[in-house]
Amino acid sequence: MTDKPYLVDVKRQYESFPYPPRDPADESQRLIASIPASLMAVNHHCFGGKKDFRSGFRCLVAGGGTGDSTIFLAEQLRDYDAELVYLDMSDASRQVAEARARVRNLTNITWVTASIMDLPGLGLGEFDYIECTGVLHHLESAEEGLRALNAVLKVDGAIFLMVYGKYGRRAVYEMQSLLRNYLPAGLSMHEKVQMARQLIETLPKSNSFIRELDMWGAEISAAGFGDAGLYDLLLHSQDRSFDVPGLYALAESAGLHLSSFGWRTDDYDPLKHTNDSTARNYLATLDLPRRQALAEVMIGNMRKHEIFLARQPDRGAKLTDDNVALRSYGMLLKNAAKIAAAMVPAPGAVAYCSDKNFKITIACTPVSKIVYGHMDGATPVSVLRERIRMALPAIPPEMVDQELEQIYHQLHACGCLYLVRAGSYGVGIPDYGKLVIRCRPGGPERGVHSADAG
């Protein structure tokens, strides 16, 4: 235990190396988007697709760093009567975040320099949504940190957490261990970075971290997150990772339910990772947490977990809810209707849609042509089903439902499709076609999706 409500070495790191490093001037070039800071995704995962963000929405970004999530949320809430609070213990990080907000002329953010552990006593009130990306695994106790967040959550609110994944970071932990043993005591932070960099540059290709360098390189390279990234990834004084059972235990320790995963949702299904019918039949009999735990080890490369938590289970939107509509997002934001129009259904025919992060393979069938043509946020799913039935009477309804589900799961897993209350898109939640969103080219993967309206 320390006498401070934060870890001194961790604070020192983020005062010297605000993370992620950002140049406020870039705000005139691009808006960095992410799933946990997207009201579209938050609405889907936390509020059944039914939240109206126009008035009274209260949001906290806990451990907001240099402002990525805060800036994106503030842009989406710019014209709404909402409250957005940024909190971080690092003054240097807050200065970068505030400078970014100034470039964008965003005046709807309350800035707080404090520890998450102090939240219950800060008098900030309760929040509908708390976004906490990459922070709890750097606290002395993630469990106590989560309890502090839960203490300022509204009864029907929700929390997003991104924490490190145990199996996907094995090479990182080996490199951390190597550097701990290698670096002499008494070095400054900058000297440590320099010596670490020199060693890494000369390591053989057989080294586990070097083998994965294409995955981690942007995090530590000068063109990526540079020295701040290297320190954060390889020299951090407090770095804890979680496997799926650990996520459930973390949630339970604060009296919360793990409601859904927000990133690579389909990879938490073990059926995706084996073709063997005996294994698949057996896996299908297991309970959900066990299936997800096995899936994580089967795929082996989950570098992080993105989870939505709430006091009630199962808060996400459902395709079985007749009042919700499909709404394309991310790289499909403006493309779904065009894809539908160009589609020529034929047995085995496929189309592709891709950006720098993903490639989607689209089966060109009579049903998918209609479904892609209705990802408008306006047509209730019940009406969509009816239209398919009328247009394709020979296809049994259960086959239509099956294909609709397949399309939904495929696109939702990569952040390209969400469910919203029919008719609320562009009203109770923003019209993303009007926000100019560009990802930082070549930067490290940060759960960023592109929804370029430019």
Stretch that binds ligand SAM, among 112-120, 163-171, 183-191, 195-203 (CB under 6 A): 112-120
From the list 27, 83, 88, 219, which residue makes contact with ligand SAM (rule: CB under 6 A)?
88
At its nearest, how many Å lie between ligand SAM and the CB of residue 116? Answer: 4
Which residues have C-beta within 8 Å of that of residue 182, sequence separation ≥ 6?
Answer: 195, 199
Q: How many residues bind ligand SAM (CB under 6 A)?
A: 22
345 contacts 441 by C-beta, under 8 angstroms: no
Q: DSSP string covering 384-445, please?
A: HHHHHHHH-TTS-HHHHHHHHHHHHHHHHHTTSEEEEETT-BTTTB--GGGS---PPTTPPP
**219 makes contact with ligand SAM (CB under 6 A):** no
Nearer to ligand SAM, 18 or 373 (CB): 18
6 contacts 87 by C-beta, under 8 angstroms: no
Nearer to ligand SAM, 136 or 381 (CB): 136
d(CA 21, CA 93): 9
**83 makes contact with ligand SAM (CB under 6 A):** no
Stretch that binds ligand SAM, among 110-118, 196-204, 223-231, 280-288 (CB under 6 A): 110-118
**93 makes contact with ligand SAM (CB under 6 A):** yes
From the list 31, 130, 135, 254, which residue makes contact with ligand SAM (rule: CB under 6 A)?
135
339 contacts 360 by C-beta, under 8 angstroms: no
From the list 117, 230, 250, 364, which residue makes contact with ligand SAM (rule: CB under 6 A)?
117
Q: With H, G, I as helix, E, B as strand and everything else as coil, classify residue 240.
A: coil
| Count of beta carbons in the 10 Å neighbourhood of residue 393 | 8
Stretch that binds ligand SAM, among 86-94, 290-298, 321-329, 349-357 (CB under 6 A): 86-94
| Binders of ligand SAM in range 6-35 (CB under 6 A) | 6, 10, 14, 19-20
248 contacts 258 by C-beta, under 8 angstroms: yes
Measured CA to CA in angstroms, residue 419 lies from 41, 49, 319, 328, 379 at distances of 9, 6, 8, 9, 11
From the list 32, 39, 89, 309, which residue makes contact with ligand SAM (rule: CB under 6 A)?
89
Q: Which helix (H) or strand (E) holds 132?
A: strand 127-133
Task: Give the count of alpha carbons within 13 A of 222, CB side only.
Answer: 2
Nearer to ligand SAM, 49 or 134 (CB): 134
**Farthest-apart Cα atoms in the chain, separation:** 76
d(CA 405, CA 367): 11
d(CA 164, CA 169): 8
Stretch that binds ligand SAM, among 83-91, 332-340, 346-354, 405-413 (CB under 6 A): 83-91
**63 makes contact with ligand SAM (CB under 6 A):** yes
| Binders of ligand SAM in range 224-263 (CB under 6 A) | 232
**65 makes contact with ligand SAM (CB under 6 A):** yes
Stretch that binds ligand SAM, among 61-69, 344-352, 355-363, 381-389 (CB under 6 A): 61-69
d(CA 401, CA 397): 6
From the list 44, 49, 60, 68, which residue makes contact with ligand SAM (rule: CB under 6 A)?
68
From the list 38, 43, 115, 260, which residue makes contact with ligand SAM (rule: CB under 6 A)?
115
Residue 315, token pair as written in the block: 């808060």
Stretch that binds ligand SAM, among 85-93, 251-259, 395-403, 415-423 (CB under 6 A): 85-93
Nearer to ligand SAM, 67 or 430 (CB): 67
d(CA 432, CA 33): 11
At its nearest, how many Å lie between ligand SAM and the CB of residue 447? Answer: 9
d(CA 126, CA 121): 12
d(CA 271, CA 249): 24
At its nearest, how many Å lie between ligand SAM and the CB of residue 102? Answer: 18
Q: Which helix (H) or strand (E) holds 24?
A: none
Q: Whose CB is nearest to ligand SAM? A: 65
Nearer to ligand SAM, 233 or 247 (CB): 233
Nearer to ligand SAM, 142 or 343 (CB): 142
What's the alpha-carbon Rg for the chain, to the nearest Å? 22
Nearer to ligand SAM, 112 or 370 (CB): 112
**134 makes contact with ligand SAM (CB under 6 A):** yes
At its nearest, how many Å lie between ligand SAM and the CB of residue 382? Answer: 39
At its nearest, how many Å lie between ligand SAM and the CB of residue 115? Answer: 4
d(CA 150, CA 256): 8
Binding site for ligand SAM (CB under 6 A): 6, 10, 14, 19-20, 63-65, 68, 88-90, 93, 115-117, 133-135, 138-139, 232
